[in-house]
Structures are given as structure tokens and as C-alpha cells.
A = this chain, B = another copy of it.
Amino acid sequence: MRSLLEFVRKGNDLKVTVIVTLKADVLDPEGEAIRKVSRSLGYEAVEGVRQGKFFEINIEGGTEQEAKSLAEDLAEKFLANPVIEDYRVERVEL
């Protein structure tokens, strides 16, 4: 019965994404390196690159609002560094 239970449980899961980016006034040397490499490869239209982190979180049960609120807690506690980073939480349709 395990697979059936898992199927049922998955039916109650919500998927949210957290995107963590450096604040606009914080230097992003990695993004700058990617911009330079892009241009040296001939992609001259690349004006700027900012890098960030992406997290996809499966949350069991609860409402969409609860899932987003949980993801915001995680972002504030340890996914993002609020001094230099911003984050945004989005719901993903399964």
C-alpha cells in the first residue's frame, strides 16, 4: 500500500520556489564573470548578469498561504542572508 499512500500524500503537497538574489547595490563578481565570458564568446548583447540561488520546496498539507509563509520563514532563517540578499517566494502549479 506504500505507493498508494505516497500518491495520496503527494496529492496534498504544495510546491513553492524561493529565489534568493543579491540586493541591487551589492557587487556580484560571479555574475560579472559570466557577463565577461558571454561577451568574449561573441554574445555582445549581454549587458549584465546577476546570479542567485533557487530552491524548490515540497510542503505537505496546509493551504497555499501556509506553504508560502513557511517558505518565507525558511528564507529569513537560513536560505537568504537578509543583509545582502533579497528573496521572493512563488507558488508552482504541480
| Assembly CA distance A82 to B55 (angstroms) | 19
Q: Is the interface of A mostly helix, strand, loop or mixed?
A: strand
| Assembly CA distance A70 to B44 (angstroms) | 10
A89 within 8 A of B: no
When all copies of this chain in the complex are counted, the total is 2
Min CB distance, A55 to chain B, in Å? 6
A interface with B by C-beta (< 8 Å): 13, 19-21, 31, 34, 37-38, 41, 43, 45-62, 67, 70, 73-74, 77-79
> Which 3 A-B residue pairs are closest in the complex by CB-CB distance?
A52-B54, A47-B58, A54-B54
- In the complex, 25 of the A-B residue pairs with CB atoms within 8 angstroms, ordered by the A residue number, are A19-B54, A21-B54, A21-B56, A34-B55, A34-B78, A34-B79, A37-B78, A41-B77, A43-B73, A45-B59, A45-B62, A45-B67, A45-B70, A47-B58, A47-B59, A48-B57, A48-B58, A49-B56, A50-B56, A51-B53, A51-B56, A52-B53, A52-B56, A53-B53, A53-B54
